[in-house]
Structure 1
Amino acid sequence: MRWDEMRESQNVEDRRAEGGGGGGFGGGGVRLGLGGIAVVVVVGLLFGKSPMEMLALVSNLQNGAPTQQHAPAHRATPPVGSSDNDQTAVKVKKVLGDTEDTWKQIFAASGRSYQPPRLVLFRGGVNSGCGFTGSEVGPFYCPSDQKVYLDLGFFDELKQRFGAPGEFAQAYVVAHEVGHHVQNLLGISDKVHQRMQQLNPTGRNALSVRLELQADCFAGVWGHEAAQRNIITGAEMQQALVAANAIGDDTLQRNAGRSVAPDSFTHGSSAQRQHWFQVGFDSGSVDACNTFVRSRPATGPAAAR
């Protein structure tokens, strides 16, 4: 990637020195936004719990019911991974800055004003507008405070555990979370959240899949614009497809020794995630990213065409 062609964003909070202290899931309730709900469900998948169990936990948290899960008031700073360094932090800030420029232009073309999200770098765990979250859930976007949260150690896991190395694979992760911010600004997230309240857990999972696949597509839209400016190459774009494949729900379930259960998907299969990123990358069009047009997200090459 041509880092010298990318502007470094200043919309960044570096909380890594805090080491993930504070907060808890105690009485009084935690108001989780859509992003927070998705995060909790994904954690359940990774640790062998069903989405139904995790959604029940969310309901308890939302309603202020007491739980037995608490974040410690103080926790030691976890070991620093190879990706958790200032050089990687600068690259992440440059990706964020480039997404800001790209989405500002796209919004302006339709008469809108783009308000960029803030990026929070943390280590171990972090308090957000969606509650306390540990690094084990991976990067996430919280619509309540309009911030993207990222533990840079995730990039080590992306490379070592999921077999998805490369700078553009990392950029894809950031662009995907920014895609959720775009959904929030466009009112898509609110509409989906409202609809979710009317559905059973299976229906909520299906909508979560569509929302996540659209964020993948929006990441591809940014990738398209970056490619037009020769910031990335076609070979680098393949890194994003490898990453999308590695973190598909079916792949995660297989790697966890579980049977693939499509009705429990929250982000989409590997094929779906690759497909929708490719749609955004090839088209460079927000309109092409309508993942809600079918009863289930399509996997074939004709989807969204």
Structure 2
Amino acid sequence: MKVRVAAVAVIGVLVVGVAVRFGPGLVPADAEEAGRPVVRVPKVDAPLRQPTTAMTFTPDLPLVQNGLYKAGRVPAVSCRMPVGAQTSRAAVLAAATVVLDCLDRSWVSVVARSGHYFESPGLVVFDRAKDKSCELREIHASAFYCSKDNKIYLEWKDYLQRGNWNRQIDLLDTMAHEYGHHLQRLAGILSYGWDPEASQTSAAALLKSRRLELQATCFGAAFLGANKTSLRLTGERLRTWQHQTRHSGDEYSAGKLRDHGSRQSQWRWAAPAFQSANPSSCNTFTAATTKVS
């Protein structure tokens, strides 16, 4: 999750089949979808693991030795930039669809090399005041990934509060982060180890949450770094992204819940990944707790 100083945006993830959510929000029952029919391999719906033991952090192999960490650099794929002002639901959906296409083309070969099956997530823009689905009934999140239906959700009206320049950078960063949760799902990381009976505000649960969220930020930064030229993340635009990332973190959330990582931790994981464009720098599950504070 990234909560910024200038524009408060709660970004989260929903775990399939349990009552865990980071940055809760509403999603539409009849919202417009935009799945991306890019390069595909057969879809495999493997059952998600639901452990019965109490939630504690343990170095399980799907987390610490995942094939994503060894799959190599994210390739540059000549992304198109969204055009026009993002001032309507249709415009936000159109812009996010362009970014999603770039994310798919960048990550498909990495996922294949990691030994996992690839599929594209769906995309929904929602109206917080009207829409409900994905088992959510609270009104908080500006953006989140729902693993229940494999979709990225964006609250389009939040983009009306920002200048066009910040809207573009924020949309790139938000989509890249939420796609990071999609990658975690494909790699078997996202829901591994959750206990639906455990308190989701316990120290162990919050630590796991921070590891997941900071890893999604790291994956997103690797994509942005790989495609910085075509995404025009240079000069002042790059400095805008750096400022936003340095000013994202639990310090800026309304409840100050330590579930996504501090601003220092956000930058600690984003900066190296942007430079390397490699998910090998994103193994938050072997990091000391001080590195995922």
Counterparts of residues 65-80 of structure 1 (less than 5 Å) = none
Structure 2: tracts of 5 or more residues without a match: 1-14, 26-84
Counting matched residue pairs gives: 218
Kept in 1: contact 2:20–2:200 (CA 8 A): no
Partner residue, 1:24 = none
Q: Retained in 2: the 8 A contact 1:245–1:251?
A: no
Which has the higher mean CA deviation after the structures are superposed, 170-179 or 104-113?
A: 104-113
| Residue aligning to 2:68 | none
Amino acid at match of 1:276: W
Q: Which whole-Å CA distance do the structure 2 matches of 1:289 and 1:195 have between them?
A: 26
1:179 alignment counterpart = 180
Provide closer, same or farther for how the CA distance between residues 103 and 181 of structure 1 changes in structure 2, counting only shifts above 3 A: same
List per-residue Cα deviations over 1:234-262 (Å, max 9, x = no partner).
Answer: 2323333333334311133xxx5x8xx6x
2:266 aligned to 254, 265, 273, which one?
273
Q: CA RMSD in A?
A: 3.2
Give distance in 1, aligned partners of 2:136 and 2:196.
22
**Aligned twin of 1:154:** 158
Say yes or no: does 1:138 pair with 2:131: no
Residue 113 of structure 1 deviates from its aligned partner by: 2.9
Structure 2 residue 223 is the aligned partner of structure 1 residue 222: yes
- Flag the 1:35–1:181 CA change in 2: closer, same or farther, 3 A: farther
How does 1:205-216 map onto structure 2 within 5 Å?
205-216=206-217
C-alpha distance in 2, partners of 1:118/1:187? 18
Q: Distance in 1 between matches of 2:197 and 2:177?
A: 21
Q: How does 1:100-111 map to 2 (within 5 A)?
A: 100-111=104-115
Match of 1:38 in 2: 22
TM-score of the two chains, using structure 1 as the length reference: 0.62
- What residue identity is the alignment partner of 2:210? V
> In the alignment, what sits opposite 1:232?
232
Q: CA deviation at 1:271?
A: 1.9
Q: For residue 127 of structure 1, what is the aligned residue in structure 2? A: 132
8 Å CA contact retained: 1:120, 1:149 = yes
- In the alignment, the residues of structure 2 paired with residue 150 and residue 131 of structure 1 have an alpha-carbon distance, to the nearest angstrom, of 14
Does 1:114 find its partner at 2:118?
yes
Aligned partners of 2:197, 2:281: CA distance in 1, in Å? 23
Where does the alignment leave 5 or more consecutive residues of structure 1 unmatched? 1-30, 42-80, 301-305
| TM-score normalised per structure 2 | 0.64
Q: State the distance in 1 between where 2:19 and 2:106 align.
A: 23
Task: Give the corresponding residue for 1:283.
Answer: 276
Once residues 132 and 200 of structure 1 are traced to their aligned partners in structure 2, the CA distance between those partners, rounded to angstroms, is: 19
CA distance in 1 between partners of 2:215 and 2:137 (Å): 26
**Which residue identity does 2:111 align to in structure 1?**
F
The code of the aligned residue for 1:234 comes to: T
Judged with a 3 Å threshold, the aligned counterparts in structure 2 of structure 1 residues 34 and 105 are, in CA distance, closer, same or farther, namely farther
Percent pairwise identity: 24
1:21 counterpart residue number: none
The letter for the 1-side match of 2:273 is G
Pick 1 or 2: higher relative contact order, CA cutoff 8 A, min separation 6.
Answer: 2
Amino acid corresponding to residue 89 of structure 1 in structure 2: L
Residue matched to 1:292: 285
Give 2:102's aligned residue: 98
Larger proportion of helix: 1
* SS of match in other structure, 2:191: helix
**Paired amino acid for 1:289:** C
